[in-house]
């Protein structure tokens, strides 16, 4: 898709790209991807559908439709982004449109986890910092930005802001272990220990 044909893979240490803003608190996953587009058995065609209803309402003026944002990969949002439904279709749609990192005041928990399991960092910062970053982008969004994961900083061409990335997700991204499946499958012995001691799987015997 656009300038970023490949989806996140391996260790993610930085995201480099054009940034744009989508202002507003409490932007829910029904808005990110309306439910009718969930009628599918694969995620592949979701990229064009991201924010479908908001975009048609704004008739070409939605940030995801503006020419200047084409090819951008960093999205800066406000508070409680991604609230509501657990649909992974929401981050999938954003990713397939081209988004590779989000920065915002806060993210809903399930959405945050879904992004992480796709290798998309959600960095947070105070309302004041977010507003400053958003103003900076909106004043001149031709520049490229870099989100450095370990440094927990986002750099514009002439300035830098500190952001927060929780330690667990940070390590998972930086080491390439954000796709949890192989790690989860490597603890079979410990899993059996737990399974064999759970009362409700063992006739409620006392251990």
Partner 1 sequence: MWDLHRIAELPGGSTQLFVGLHLIHEVTSPQAFFALKEKGLRVRCPEQTVATVDHIVPTTSQDRPFADPLAEEMLCTLEENCEIHNIKFYGLKSGNQGIVHVIAPELGLTQPGMTVVCGDSHTSTHGAFGAIAFGIGTSQVRDVLASQSLTMNKLKVRRIWVNNTLKKGVYAKDLILHIIHTLGVKAGVGYAYEFAGPAIASLSMEERMTICNMAIEAGARCGYINPDEVTFKYLENRLHAPKERNWTQAISWWKTISSDEKAIFDDEVDFDASKIPPTVTWGITPGQGIGIDEKLPDPESLSPSEKTIAQEAYNYMGLTPGGTILDLPIDVCFIGSCTNGRLNDLKIAASIAKGRHVAKGIKAFVVPGSENVAKAAEDEGLVEIFKNAGFEWRKPGCSMCLAMNPDRLEGRQISASSSNRNFKGRQGSATGRTLLMSPAMVTAAAITGRVTDVRTLQ
The secondary structure of 152-196 as a DSSP string is TEEE-SS-EEE-B--HHHHHHHHHT--STHHHHHT-HHHHHHHHT
Is 1 a residue that touches partner 1 (CB under 8 A)?
Answer: no
Among 11, 30, 148, 153, binds partner 1 (CB under 8 A): 30
Q: Give the C-alpha separation, 142 to 104, whole Å.
A: 20
Which alpha helices (DSSP H) does the chain contain, by range? 29-32, 52-58, 89-97, 109-117, 127-139, 167-175, 181-185, 188-195
Q: Give the C-alpha separation, 207 to 200, whole Å.
A: 12
Is 137 a residue that touches partner 1 (CB under 8 A)?
Answer: no
Is 194 a residue that touches partner 1 (CB under 8 A)?
Answer: yes
Q: Which stretch binds partner 1 (CB under 8 A): 39-47, 59-67, 135-143, 150-158?
A: 39-47
Is 59 a residue that touches partner 1 (CB under 8 A)?
Answer: no
CB of 33 to partner 1, least distance (A): 11
Q: Applying CB under 8 A, which residues contact partner 1?
A: 24-26, 28, 30-31, 34-36, 38-43, 53-54, 56-57, 79-80, 83-89, 91, 106-110, 113-114, 117-118, 127, 167-172, 175, 177, 179-181, 183-185, 187, 190-191, 193-195, 197-201, 203-206
């Amino acid at each position: 898709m656009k300038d970023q044909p490949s989806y996140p893979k391996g260790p993610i240490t930085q995201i480099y790209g054009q940034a744009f803003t989508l202002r507003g608190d409490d932007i829910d996953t029904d808005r990110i991807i309306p439910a009718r587009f969930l009628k599918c058995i694969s995620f592949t065609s979701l990229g064009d559908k991201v924010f479908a209803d908001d975009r048609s309402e704004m008739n070409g003026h939605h940030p995801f439709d503006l020419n200047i944002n084409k090819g951008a990969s960093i999205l800066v949002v406000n508070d409680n982004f991604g609230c509501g439904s657990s649909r992974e279709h929401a981050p999938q749609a954003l990713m397939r449109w081209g988004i590779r990192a989000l920065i915002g005041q806060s993210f809903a928990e399930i959405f945050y986890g879904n992004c992480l399991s796709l290798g998309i960092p959600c960095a947070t910062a105070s309302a004041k910092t977010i507003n400053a970053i958003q103003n900076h982008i909106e004043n001149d969004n031709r520049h490229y930005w870099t989100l450095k994961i370990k440094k927990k900083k986002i750099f514009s061409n002439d300035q830098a802001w500190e952001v927060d990335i929780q330690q667990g997700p940070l390590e998972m991204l930086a080491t390439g272990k954000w796709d949890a499946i192989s790690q989860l499958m490597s603890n079979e012995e410990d899993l059996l220990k737990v399974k064999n001691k759970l009362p409700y799987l063992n006739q409620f015997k006392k251990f």
